[in-house]
């Protein structure tokens, strides 16, 4: 029984020292996407045939949307995770942002803009949501709740093993 307890303790120590974060970081990441609408200077009229361009500030890789539809909707799928600067080439001219946006892997970023001639684009709405990400049991065990579950299971198992061996106190055995 003591060998079993020793094996369980060694297993628990190994599980707590395995570099889970580095293993998870080495896994290949998916790509994100950016969607939204482009509106005119009145912030209501959709702008059709505008092209949205993104440039990764680290790698300088560029992505561009198809021309916006009659409702001003655009979509850029398959964007590598990173920080990007954005520009819009519309029928009334070209607009560039002077700040960057972050695109996350396996997430859908939402950004709608209004174009004002002679001015800066106006951000109307932004957001992000996970899409296409399949949750696995490993995702739970990487979370704080999952780690707590593992620790609790190990403690309960060790307590059960200790109880099955009988009382170790010499005082209680004599009573």
Strands 73-79 and 82-90: unpaired
Region of residue 60 (phi > 0: left; psi between -120 and 50: alpha; otherwise: beta): left
105: CB partners within 8 A, 6+ apart: 29, 30, 31, 32, 80, 81
Supply the pLDDT for residue 84.
92
pLDDT at 40: 85
Dihedral Cα 97, 103, 108, 109, nearest 10 deg: -30
> Mean pLDDT for each 10-residue chunk of the chain (175 residues)?
66 60 55 89 88 92 93 92 89 79 88 73 52 66 82 85 66 55
The pLDDT score that the predictor gives to residue 173 is 53
């Amino acid at each position: 029984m003591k060998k079993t307890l020793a094996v369980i303790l060694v297993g628990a120590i190994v599980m707590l020292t395995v570099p889970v974060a580095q293993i998870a970081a080495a896994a290949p990441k998916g790509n994100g996407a950016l969607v939204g609408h482009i509106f005119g200077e009145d912030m209501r009229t959709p702008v059709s045939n505008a092209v949205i361009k993104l440039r990764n500030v680290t790698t300088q890789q560029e992505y561009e949307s198809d021309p916006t539809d009659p409702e001003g909707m655009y979509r850029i799928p398959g964007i590598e995770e990173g920080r990007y600067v954005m520009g819009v080439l519309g029928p009334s001219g070209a607009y560039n942002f002077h700040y960057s946006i972050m695109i996350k892997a396996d997430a859908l970023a939402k950004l709608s803009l209004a174009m004002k001639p002679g001015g800066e684009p106006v951000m109307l709405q932004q957001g992000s949501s996970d899409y296409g990400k399949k949750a696995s049991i490993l995702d739970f065990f990487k979370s704080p709740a999952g780690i707590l579950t593992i620790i609790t299971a190990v403690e309960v198992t060790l307590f059960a093993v200790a109880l099955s061996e009988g009382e170790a106190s010499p005082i209680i055995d004599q009573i």
